[in-house]
Chain A
């Protein structure tokens, strides 16, 4: 459907929004927290978000998966009511950001792609002062800060300046700060990009806890493992559009095979071997450094490759991931 047709249909869809089936994810109820119809963002002549539709229900963890430049941050900024909508409709808590920006933002938690902490202030001051932006009484902001620092495992560093903290700690502080007003929706734009694996796992663990406590999570990522770990449901974005939608498992089932056979050859042009293995699986994808065979049973496919007399340097059988879904849908890899 074209963006304009979507926008035109938006009015009609609106009425039924509360009843749209949303899969059966535990802890999620029917209340729509966030809804976009034909949402667009343009910068001059350039269209960053090109008419996207999505609905997020209470308690859900919803993700935008896509490569750099897909339009994830532009979408998140509109949802955060910090960037005006260029076209289409957007509602949070049933309210229009154009008219009720401050009321909506009072109920959101915002973790932008780039941390906006004050590095010269202390860890706890960052949270206290942020609480004041929401009009919280000083004492309440301080009590809440102590609780959140505990949650973010930063209590020991509370009197330190932010500047020397590690990247993972700063990210946890940003998340702690964003929770000061007890947000009903927490927006996380690439929460773990640039962090080492251990720091990422600590963060994921904290996000799981939040989700269990009933906070609705909306996050973006270009890591497929992060999307698989955290999201109940996600949309795959590319070039400002949504190219697929569903739970991680459903997306893999729909757009990929159960297993993938990876073949590496001692050769610059892997495409030359595609012909020899054609027909063994459902599909063959040619990457610069390997061939991917989409198959149901990786081991028997490996045997079939061998029986055809093909001799790769290395053979690897793995399960399909969202990376494969993305590759199939767009012909490109997520992280380049």
Chain B
């Protein structure tokens, strides 16, 4: 009983009701998605070592192969791209592309697992949390990963002389936003996936072509004219173009604003679609 009283004194009354019989004080939205975020962070704490290699090594290898290896060839033969050295052309594109890949790996198997294998979302939905909180917390956790790995990659790329302008720091939020423009639609797909086969399909027919044809390694003006509009409707091209504008310190307000708006639109539509998919899968 003494401990009861001590506890009562330690917390404001409304919070203390959460663990007591009787009506409980409602949780704020931040408390709700924050609890989901906290869980996902605890899970990540156990597994981050295993994922570090893939996360940081693959963009680094791209940087070396494309920026330094291929770059010296391109610069020698063609004098760079649009008056830029190839390294400076390709580094911001790799920022956006690594965000896409991270979005892919974080929004498919882990989310699928939380729905099907360990039923972590079901556990959450048996508490005061709702689908919106689960989706928001999950998205926030992935945004956290995106922020960490984009920041580290930017640092490494800067050491290699990958940037010419301080505007390049904008690549961090743009990279995260590009990732989220994939995360939400991908969660929408994962929620509807009937098997893991779906992910292979997305990987092969969406991600890989996007990586190659979104103005990443060469400008889309090199593509046949009829293919160019396809780039316009993919988040990656907008992310690449916005990152590139920032990294080169050549931000044109109109086109830059349109790229950001396009990315935000993917997030917004993706959110609605993902949320509906999760409701349908989890609340039956």
Contact = CB atoms under 8 A, between A and B. Distances in A.
Interface stretch (A127-135, A226-234, A305-313): A127-135
Interface string A129-144: 1111111110111011
B127 A182 contact: no
B248 to A, nearest CB: 43
A103 B128 contact: yes
Query: Which residue of B24, B26, B128 has the most chain A CB atoms within 10 A of its CB atom?
Result: B128
Interface in A92-150: 101-103, 105-108, 110, 112, 114, 116-121, 125, 129-137, 139-141, 143-144
Contacts of A68: none
A116 B128 contact: no
A245 interface: no
B51 to A, nearest CB: 13
B134 to A, nearest CB: 10
A46 interface: no
Contact of B284 (A43, A120, A133, A184): A43
Interface string B223-250: 0000000000000000000000000000
Interface string B17-58: 011111111110001100110110011001100000000000
Given A83-B284, A103-B128, A133-B129, A121 B15 contact: no
Contact of B120 (A110, A118, A180): A118
Identify the 9 closest CB pairs spanning chains A and B, nearest first: A133-B127, A116-B123, A102-B128, A135-B27, A110-B126, A116-B119, A106-B24, A132-B35, A106-B128
Given A134-B127, A140-B7, A107 B21 contact: yes
A36 interface: no
B10 interface: yes
Contacts of A83: 283-284
12 contacts: A82-B126, A82-B283, A106-B26, A116-B118, A116-B122, A129-B42, A136-B19, A139-B10, A140-B16, A140-B18, A144-B19, A182-B21
Contacts of A105: 126-128
Interface string B94-128: 00000000000000000000000011101111111
A106 B21 CA distance: 10
B166 interface: no
Which bucket holds chain B's interface residue count?
A: 35 or more
Given A80-B126, A121-B42, A121-B43, A134 B24 contact: yes
Contacts of A134: 18-19, 24, 27, 127-128
B119 A84 contact: no
Contacts of A136: 15, 18-19
B130 interface: yes
A167 to B, nearest CB: 16
Interface string A33-64: 00000000001000000000000000000000
Nearest to B282: A82
Give the interface centre of A103, A105, A132, A144 by most chain B CB atoms within 10 Å: A132
Nearest to A104: B128
Nearest to B16: A140
A107 B16 CA distance: 14
B36 to A, nearest CB: 8
A80, A82, A114 interface centre (most CB from chain B within 10 Å): A82
Interface of B: 3, 7, 10-11, 15-16, 18-27, 31-32, 35-36, 38-39, 42-43, 46-47, 118-120, 122-130, 283-284
A75 interface: no
A181 interface: yes
A143 to B, nearest CB: 7
Nearest to B35: A132
A180 B15 CA distance: 14
A82 B125 contact: yes
A108 B128 CA distance: 10
Nearest to A93: B23
A116 B120 contact: yes
Interface string A169-188: 00000000000111010000
B26 to A, nearest CB: 7
A137 B10 CA distance: 10
Contacts of A118: 39, 43, 118, 120, 123
A47 B33 CA distance: 35
Contacts of A144: 19
Contact of A129 (B11, B38, B126): B38
A141 B31 CA distance: 14
A184 B19 contact: no
B7 A119 contact: no
